[in-house]
Amino acid sequence: MLIPREFFARRSVEVAPDLLGCVLEHETADGLVAVELTEVEAYAGRSDPASHAYRGKTQRNAVMFGPPGHAYVYFTYGMHFCVNVVCSGEKDSASAVLLRAGAIVAGEDLARARRTRGPVSEGPVSKGRARIASRDLARGPARLCQALGIDRSLDGADVCVAGSGLRMRAGAGNPARSARIVTGPRVGVSSAAEIPWRFWYEGDPTVSVYRAHVPRPPKLVTP
């Protein structure tokens, strides 16, 4: 069954752990791909310095200021998409949960085909790249979007209605899994460090590996 909108009408830190095990699916003319979520991260919105909504409403983040249960899709690093689901503990809180990783539970062939296509330059002779392991198909926020075929055109899509190509289903309801949920503070954000922002299934092979973000040094200018 589809997740009801009330589910998302809470603070994102409450919604996030409940999303683990839920299934995000996207149906297009090419077929259906479904992902069972194994890693998510909550953003508090207006009050969260790390959130895109921290500095107020803009054209890009407008969806986060709207009703809960809609997808906020953004483009980053010049080539990647990431998807959130909007929550709302209070009006205009602009909180959301970033979907960071998951396991493919349907449409694996289509997901692999989307992920196998080279990002930009495909040489004249396609270099024989190794077949992507199943666990890596949606391991990471940008990979998850690529596997599901999510792009900016789905920004604002309602994941609570069947008619939307993008929707969220309840998981198989495996209660044993809740015992394996691990939480931890976000890295790099000093304020509100006492709140556990990230949630994932301990030991799950599809959980993305953490890599410290290294800012690039200023570009050297040659006179």
Partner DNA sequence: ATGAAGATTGCCT
Partner DNA sequence: GGCAATCTTCATG
Q: Which is nearer to DNA, 178 or 205 (CB)?
A: 205
Q: Which is nearer to DNA, 91 or 129 (CB)?
A: 129
126 lies in the binding site for DNA (CB under 7 A)? no
Q: First vs last Cα of the chain: how many Å apart?
A: 63
Please answer whether residues 53 and 46 qualify as being in contact, where contact means their C-beta atoms are separated by less than 8 angstroms: yes
131 lies in the binding site for DNA (CB under 7 A)? no
What is the rounded distance in angstroms from the CA atom of residue 73 to the CA atom of residue 53?
A: 13
Residue type, 46: R
Window contacting DNA (CB under 7 A); options: 19-27, 104-112, 170-178, 211-219: 211-219
Q: Is 70 helix (H, G, I), strand (E, B) or coil?
A: strand
Residue type, 196: P
Choose, by CB under 7 A, the member of 176, 218, 222, 223 that binds DNA. Answer: 218
Residue type, 113: A
88 lies in the binding site for DNA (CB under 7 A)? no
- The residue ranges that bind DNA (CB under 7 A) are 41, 43, 50-53, 55, 58-61, 72, 75-80, 82, 84, 96, 98, 115, 118-121, 129, 136, 140-144, 208, 211, 213-216, 218-219
